[in-house]
Structure 1
């Protein structure tokens, strides 16, 4: 029987962050960090699985997302180290809940603070597992390597995504992004198109994503809106820390779906299959999920849960 997920607001570094929790934590704590357009709910299947196995699952809404407070000015793109805020928020959550060490699980842009936290705070990290996004020692830069219509290049332009999204209600925007990002092709708009034009209401949702799931996502983004989520991460990728001498001291597990469109982005396959990550993470494990999309934790929860629980079990105490 599934345990009841509890919700609370934690005062962390001047903001009230929404945190979902479940499990007693006899075997340890797992912190889940979501991407875009995700939210704590994206980890619902994994939270129940680790709780049933004896762990405590914690999934915050990232600052500015869902039920968490909006950060004050200045805007994230004007901050020198916006990614460090996400790392500091994780540390603040662990301290507020008196948790000495935790496993970190990150997805999409949530992988960046998961990797960075493990590098900065190895004494507070049991291990790190990331879905879809390999570790990069330099900021991501798609200029010149991807078409102009590639959505991160479009969305980094102030006001462009806001105008594109603003033509539709919140539910339609979330629906369209889930449809696009669950495909195997990289979402690229043509000249005269915007990203939201790449799918419409006649395009079916992925079979594993229900109308009820969409309702949950829409209700949470009704609270936060898309203003901050668009700016962070898409207008802050150039402010990622350069870490050419990075060396992970904890186990790292990279999991990617073979139908994840990000696998086609420049450098991603080389990082995963070519061994680049191994030079930074000596204790690296890599797994591929056949047919897995960018949302494999929702698409194939049993498989991802199996990989996650195996990783938790194999990590040294």
Structure 2
């Protein structure tokens, strides 16, 4: 971890935190986190790709972790995160990059490739697929009481989270999201109530890891994270009318990822429908993997990522 360097880059009027490791002359890989994640989510992957001759870059989105919060968090959008990602590449003078996105980071990674195809050599996403146009209106139905539905309601998550310290909130979310079932609250309960006091953390997630996450969310709070992704989910898949991505791509899913239980999701992923939008995509399922497969099985995920990068690195002019 001491090998990973940290800097702040000023883009779009904000100072954004970027963690990086590897030679500036090496092919670049940008890692985009989800929620409740942060740059630290990619610690295992960053070191592995740097040791294999790549440059790893992992920003905190605006309003997350050590990055500046936008002046009006409730107006933040996926477009801001997409634009910031491209602006970071410009700041670092990187013309072409591999993009790796976890969770809703997929909804940043794919639009970067759609809107700036000349900048993207390949894409890997974990825990979430390419979302077709109108995904959360037409294709994926979110059950009543499911956590994204609850967190879309202004004030509800704030009141729920506000009963606990930030460390407990992050702990509860890691416990919930590492399970294989959907996190659905009854009418008279909140999402935080779904975790019984004393429930242990997943075996692969240490108290030290939790403390790191908690310290970063104590810095940023949850105002922007609740806005993006949850309160602008309706915008996912809206970037272009007829999306088509020609770059090579890979989707890595844990076999026990709760996302596969979202109505319509497993059928969409397993049917090959994504190939209509991304002809060169491969889907890999990790046995026993949960939604946090990069942290749960880092060696397996690192091998998949490195095989993909090495196979396609000729597409990058370092």
Where on the TM-score scale, by shorter chain, does this alignment land: which range? over 0.9
**Offset, 1:73:** 2.2
2:130 aligned with 1:135: yes
TM-score by length of 2: 0.94
Question: Matched residues in 2 for 1:247 and 1:140: separation?
Answer: 15
SS at match of 2:136: coil
Instruction: Check conservation: 2:98, 2:122, Cα contact below 8 A.
Output: yes
2:212 aligned with 1:213: no
**Offset, 1:11:** 0.1
- CA gap 1:3/1:306 in 2 versus in 1, 3 angstroms: farther
Aligned length: 312
SS at match of 1:112: helix
2:175 aligned with 1:179: yes
Q: 2:156 aligns with which of 140, 160, 163?
A: 160
- CA gap 1:146/1:114 in 2 versus in 1, 3 angstroms: closer
Q: Which residue of 2 aligns with 1:45?
A: 44
SS at match of 1:236: helix
TM-score by length of 1: 0.95
Q: Which residue of 2 aligns with 1:5?
A: 4
Question: Matched residues in 2 for 1:51 and 1:74: separation?
Answer: 34
**Offset, 1:198:** 0.5
Task: Give the ranges of 4+ consecutive aligned residues of structure 1 lying more than 4 Å apart after TM superposition.
Answer: none
Q: CA RMSD in A?
A: 1.6
Instruction: Check conservation: 1:174, 1:214, Cα contact below 8 A.
Output: yes
Q: 1:286 aligns with which of 274, 277, 283?
A: 283
**Offset, 1:74:** 6.6
SS at match of 2:29: strand
Gapped runs of 5+ residues in structure 1?
A: none
**Offset, 1:27:** 4.0
2:308 aligned with 1:311: yes
Question: Matched residues in 1 for 2:148 and 2:118: separation?
Answer: 34
Q: 1:236 aligns with which of 216, 232, 237?
A: 232
**Offset, 1:314:** 1.2
**Offset, 1:261:** 0.2
**Offset, 1:142:** 7.1
**Offset, 1:141:** 2.4
Q: Which residue of 1 aligns with 2:13?
A: 14
Question: Matched residues in 2 for 1:295 and 1:142: separation?
Answer: 26
**Offset, 1:85:** 1.3
Q: Which residue of 2 aligns with 1:108?
A: 103
Q: Which residue of 1 aligns with 2:70?
A: 71
Question: Matched residues in 2 for 1:201 and 1:211: separation?
Answer: 16
Give a deviation string over 1:223-245, Cα, whole Å, max 9, x none: 00111111111000112343451
Gapped runs of 5+ residues in structure 2?
A: none
- CA gap 1:142/1:151 in 2 versus in 1, 3 angstroms: farther
Instruction: Check conservation: 2:63, 2:73, Cα contact below 8 A.
Output: no
Question: Matched residues in 2 for 1:105 and 1:26: separation?
Answer: 19
| More deviation, 24-33/150-159 | 24-33
Question: Matched residues in 1 for 2:93 and 2:142: separation?
Answer: 44
| More deviation, 144-153/127-136 | 144-153
**Offset, 1:3:** 6.2
Question: Matched residues in 1 for 2:34 and 2:183: separation?
Answer: 17
- CA gap 1:145/1:304 in 2 versus in 1, 3 angstroms: same
Instruction: Check conservation: 2:73, 2:223, Cα contact below 8 A.
Output: no
2:166 aligned with 1:170: yes
- CA gap 1:51/1:92 in 2 versus in 1, 3 angstroms: same
Q: 2:262 aligns with which of 261, 265, 273?
A: 265
